[in-house]
Amino acid sequence: MKARGASVVLVNPPITREQREGPLGPVIRNLYFNSPPLGIAYIAALLEREKVPVRVFDAAVENWTMEETVERIRATGADVVGLTSTTNFFGNALDLARRLKAADPDAFLVVGGPHASTNPERVMEHGCFDVVCIGEGEFAMLELVRALAAGADPGTVRGLAFRRDGRVVFSEPRPLLEDLNDLPMPARHLLPLHKYVPQPNDGPYLPKTAMISSRGCPYLCTFCDHGIFGNKYRTFSAVRIVDEMEELVTRHGIRDIAFVDSLFMVSRRRVNDIVDEILRRRLKVHWTCTIRANVADREILARMKAAGCWRVRIGVEAGDPEVLTLIRKDVSLDQVRSVVRAADELGLHPKGFFMVGHIGETREKIEKSIALSRELPLTDITVQINTPLPGAPQWNVYEKYGRLISHDLAAFSFWEPVFVPNGMTREELQELHRRFYRAFYLRPVIVWRHLKMLRGPSDIRRYARALSLLVGMFIRRRRPPERSAPS
């Protein structure tokens, strides 16, 4: 490490050709590249503010190969390489790290993100990683770079796992950032924003991008991993949130913003404050967000619509009350019905999020979810397959309710069965997942709801992509993926 002028490159690892062209290729192409990696963009922004030279490479959206990514990283001459990874793409980060170490044994590699934060000891078993950043990475990375540049012990930096004398040790845990307003806006200017394309049925207003207005979630849903941000809810101020919205409009030409917080609507008061600020500035921009059926009501939804919100996403998860209780959703079906109907009547194009294969679920209970999706006046749905993640509450109890059929991290995508509830088979769960989509979308009422949203030729092209995705994933038969687990 050089004594002065330490530099950093932050990398979202590449997606392989086999992954792009495999059975989950349509999902990867349509869902994994629709928003920038804001986690490393926040880290980059803080480093820039503190005069640390930094670059950001999203190798996935750039469609770089592993070899090309290694070459580009090495060409920067950076002193520190930071990698991020979700659980199902950890194998990609591992492959990239091994290649970087093979090319330059002195390369200093830091890995962070949800998987590394939840499994730091397992990740550090791979000798290619020098440090795991546990939890929020902005100030941890800044302090680590400064410590390395000064020749100081990494153990002085809170929130790290690293090696000392050949064994893995942990520094003092890093507390969660109390005031999110201390963070600069994410360094989107270091990313190719024009390459992020929204899902085909989710982008009538383009260009579109994602934004985060809060961190953490106080709810305890069994399927959710709060690994990085925890259960303590923290929010940017309403002024800071609308400042960022305004910058996206004026600097980047954005017309639609998707709030991708774990929980956007923790209270009506918070949302009202944001709406008030948008209306006060007369900011003209479309936006979408996820709401909770036990918090939202018609009044707040109407105010959101007046401030530019055009779609609300609602976590329904299941259509059986017993399953909702078991997964600790803390929402009733009556609340779901009331809020979805209000959103539909207000023209907010409600989208429902469901999951199949919950703990305690059966074929009959999944059929109730399918029936509920058809009953509700939803415009769209997303249905994933329940996937126990280390760090999620269900990880400690899933064996009571079923079995894991794969320990291959690449399968933990939420789009193929990993956990199968008692009394069911992998094939049955997979077919119910596929049938869920067919039963919802292959109806005249859904076609009509989307026809009413058409505005021109570009919308027709988007819907052609959506139809291709529906056919490729849920109508045409697919072979199960073949892969080897990272080791």
Residue-level pLDDT at 454? 74
Quote the pLDDT of residue 90. 94
Q: How many CB atoms lie within 10 A of CB 352?
A: 22
Sequence-ordered list of residues with C-beta below 8 angstroms from that of 84, at least 6 positions apart, any chain? 10, 11, 12, 13, 37, 39, 40, 93, 111, 112, 113
Q: How many residues does the chain have?
A: 487
pLDDT of amino acid 350: 97
SS3 of residue 177 by DSSP: coil
Per-residue model confidence as pLDDT tens for the chain (487 residues): 343 458 999 999 999 999 988 888 888 877 777 889 999 999 999 999 999 999 999 999 999 999 999 999 999 999 999 999 888 999 999 999 999 999 999 999 999 998 999 899 999 999 999 999 999 999 999 999 999 999 999 999 999 999 999 999 999 999 999 999 999 999 999 999 999 988 877 778 889 999 999 999 999 999 998 767 888 999 999 999 999 999 999 999 999 999 999 899 999 999 999 999 999 999 999 999 999 999 999 999 999 999 999 999 999 999 999 999 999 999 999 999 999 999 999 999 999 999 999 999 999 999 999 999 999 999 999 999 999 988 889 999 999 999 999 999 889 999 999 999 999 999 999 999 999 999 999 999 998 888 877 776 766 666 666 666 666 666 665 555 544 444 4
Please give the domain boundaries of the chain with CATH numbers for all domains.
8-170 (3.40.50.280), 198-474 (3.20.20.70)
How would you write 320-367 as a 3-class SS string?
A: CHHHHHHCCCCCCHHHHHHHHHHHHHCCCCCEEEEEECCCCCCHHHHH
Q: How far apart are CA 481 and CA 487, in angstroms?
A: 18
| DSSP-derived 3-state class of residue 415 | coil
Q: Is the dihedral of CA 459, 461, 466, 471 positive or negative?
A: positive
Give the model's pLDDT for residue 278.
98
The span from the CA of 229 to the CA of 62, in Å, is 28
pLDDT of residue 328: 95
pLDDT at 197: 86
Distance CA 349, CA 344 (A): 6
CA distance 296 to 335: 9
**Which residue pairs from 145-148 have beta carbons closer than 8 angstroms and sit at least 24 positions apart in sequence?**
145/6, 145/8, 145/47, 145/52, 145/79, 145/80, 146/6, 148/1, 148/6, 148/79, 148/80, 148/108
- Whose tokens are 């036990």? That residue is 294
Contact 234, 178 (CB under 8 A): yes
The backbone torsions φ and ψ at residue 387, rounded to the nearest 5 degrees and listed phi first, read -135, 105
Place of tokens 């330059």: 104
Q: How many CB atoms lie within 10 A of CB 413?
A: 22
pLDDT at position 450 is: 85
pLDDT at position 246 is: 98
Record the tokens describing residue 432, joined without a space. 């119910």
Alpha carbon 28 to its chain's center: 13
- 264: tokens are 């956007």
